[in-house]
Amino acid sequence: MITGFSTIRRRFPVLGVLTIFLCIGSIQNASAADPGEQVFQNNCAGCHSVGGGALVGPDLAGVHDRRSQAWLEGFIKSSQSMINGGDPDANALYKKFNQIRMPDMSLTDGQITEVLVYIKAAGATTGTTGAQKPAKKPQKVATKEDLTRGQNLFQGKLRFENNGPTCISCHNVTNDAVIGGGVLAKELTRVFSKMGGTGVRAILGRAPFPVMEAAYKDKPLTETEIFSLVTFLQDADEQHAYHNPRDYGKGLLLSGVIGAFILFVFYSLLWLRRRKDSVNQKIYDRQVKST
Ligand code: HEC
Ligand code: HEC
């Protein structure tokens, strides 16, 4: 085989080089489609579609027409460094998408190349025509029951069907019906205005944050659970103006002051008949009278 190649190369150098290129090309083609899609599904699909419309981040169909390859590689490697570094396009995009951070993922250069190949190919087939856009599901109308279920699921009064951890162990929302929650992750009160229903739904279906992803890896949320949680988060967002942050500090101070006042009144009543003059006063008075 090797001697075969070298004789071909010696006799027809151009042909030999061409065959080698073709071989490598076909091997890459056969395997590249899969890993790129794999990387996309595992790391990006929670926030991006290719040709299906914007989710948390922009639709990536045709992104190669908007940006250079180097820009794309840099952005996927570390969007934060590009934004902080003052790249104008990255900053404009960050503003447009409500300053939602695209997490810096620990992808290898190879994986970034692969995922870009996949995005380009997928965008070419779906993005331009829009024919393969997923058919919109009829919008289900949320009921009071969905809201209550969502609230109970969020704070763990109701278990998840697949035993995932409660949201409140990591998150908090400002809502009078919910006791204070965890502070490991973001406060979620305003998340609905920030990401919209589609964004929140996408995140709950496939969390793009390593900590949260690990927590729900083998314990996915069901469709109903996601719907209820989104309903609850939407309501918490709409209602947030009416709910005060739970501030135990002020209440505690006030009840302390009131408690102390009540105790002082109680003590002074208890000692109303206390001796106000000196112990010897009565003896002294008697003595004075008798003389
Ligand atoms: C947590 C959600 C999230 C995840 C996960 C995510 N992105 Fe993003 N992405 C965003 C947001 C939001 C923006 C808009 C810019 C910003 O706010 O930083 C963005 C912007 C982009 C852009 C620029 C698009 C344009 O129009 O110029 C590209 C390219 C991109 N992401 C690719 C990826 C790839 C590839 C992955 C997976 C390896 C990925 N993203 C994972 C949220 C995400
Ligand atoms: C194991 C901890 C953990 C649990 C449990 C968890 N999350 Fe998260 N979540 C995170 C982390 C970490 C992030 C990344 C954003 C951050 O830094 O706060 C996140 C991000 C989010 C975001 C995006 C917030 C934003 O503004 O970027 C939403 C929405 C969300 N979680 C909803 C939920 C809901 C609803 C539940 C319950 C089903 C849940 N999470 C359970 C850790 C968790």
* Most informative mutation of 56, 154, 209, 217 for ligand 2 (most atoms within 8 A of CB): 209
Ligand 1 centre distance from Cα of residue 233 (Å): 23
Longest dimension (CA), the chain: 149
Nearest-atom index, ligand 1, CA of 98: 17
pLDDT tens-place string over residues 159-201:
999 999 988 888 877 766 666 666 667 778 888 888 888 788 8
Say if residues 105 and 43 touch (Cβ distance below 8 Å): yes
Q: Which atom of ligand 1 is nearest to the CA of 105?
A: 38
Q: pLDDT digit string (tens) for 6-56?
A: 544 555 554 444 444 444 444 444 444 478 998 898 888 888 899 888 888
Judged by its nearest atom, the ligand closest to the C-alpha of residue 210 is 2
The structure's pTM equals 0.58
Of 9 and 214, the structure prediction assigns the larger pLDDT to 214
Of how many residues is the chain composed? 291
Q: What pLDDT, on the 0 to 100 scale, is given for residue 159?
A: 92
CA-nearest residue, atom 20 of ligand 1 = 57
For residue 95, give the DSSP letter.
Answer: H
Token pair for 94: 């960050």
What is the C-alpha separation between 103 and 208, in angstroms, rounded? 8
Side-chain-facing half-sphere of 199: CA atoms under 13 Å: 19
Q: How many CA atoms does the CB half-sphere of 76 hold within 13 Å? A: 24
- Going by alpha carbons, the residue nearest to atom 14 of ligand 1 is 57
Q: Which residues line ligand 1 (CB under 6 A)?
A: 43-44, 46-48, 56-58, 60, 63, 66-67, 72, 75-76, 79, 93-94, 97, 100, 102-103, 105, 107, 115, 208
Question: 217-255: b or e for each residue (b if 16 or more CB lie within 10 Å)?
Answer: eeebbeeebbbbbbbbbbbbbeebeeeeeeeeeeeeeee
Answer yes or no: are the C-beta atoms of 159 and 146 closer than 8 Å.
no
Q: How far is the CA of 153 from the centre of ligand 2 (A)?
A: 14
The pLDDT of residue 137 is 47
Domain range summary for the chain, segments of one domain joined by +: 32-127, 144-242, 255-290
Ligand nearest to the backbone CA of 187: 2
Query: Residue 175 gets which letter from DSSP?
Result: -
Residue with CA nearest ligand 2 atom 42: 212
Residue 70 phi, psi (nearest 5): -65, -40
| Ligand 1 pocket test, candidate residues 37, 39, 44, most atoms within 8 A of CB | 44
Q: Write down the pLDDT at residue 169.
A: 83
**Cα 172 to middle of ligand 2, angstroms:** 10
* CA-closest residue to ligand 2 atom 9: 212
> pLDDT tens, 48-91?
899 888 888 899 999 999 999 999 999 999 998 999 999 999 99
Rounded to 10 degrees, the C-alpha dihedral 101/105/110/114 comes to: -50
CA distance to 23, 41, 116, 214, per residue, from 30 (Å): 11, 18, 16, 31
The residue among 134, 216, 205 whose CA lies nearest residue 167 is 216
* pLDDT the model gives residue 241: 64
So what's the pLDDT on residue 179?
63
Determine contact, residues 192/233, Cβ cutoff 8 Å.
yes
32-127 is a CATH 1.10.760.10 domain: yes
For the domain made up of 144-242, give the CATH fold: Cytochrome Bc1 Complex; Chain D, domain 2 (1.10.760)
Place of tokens 């939602």: 100
Strand partners, 141: none
In the numeric block, the tokens 């083998």 are attached to 218
The string of pLDDT tens digits covering residues 242-274 is 655 555 555 666 777 888 888 888 877 877 777
Distances (CA, A) of 169 to 41, 59, 140, 213, 215: 27, 32, 29, 14, 11
Residue 223 clears pLDDT 80, i.e. is over it:
yes
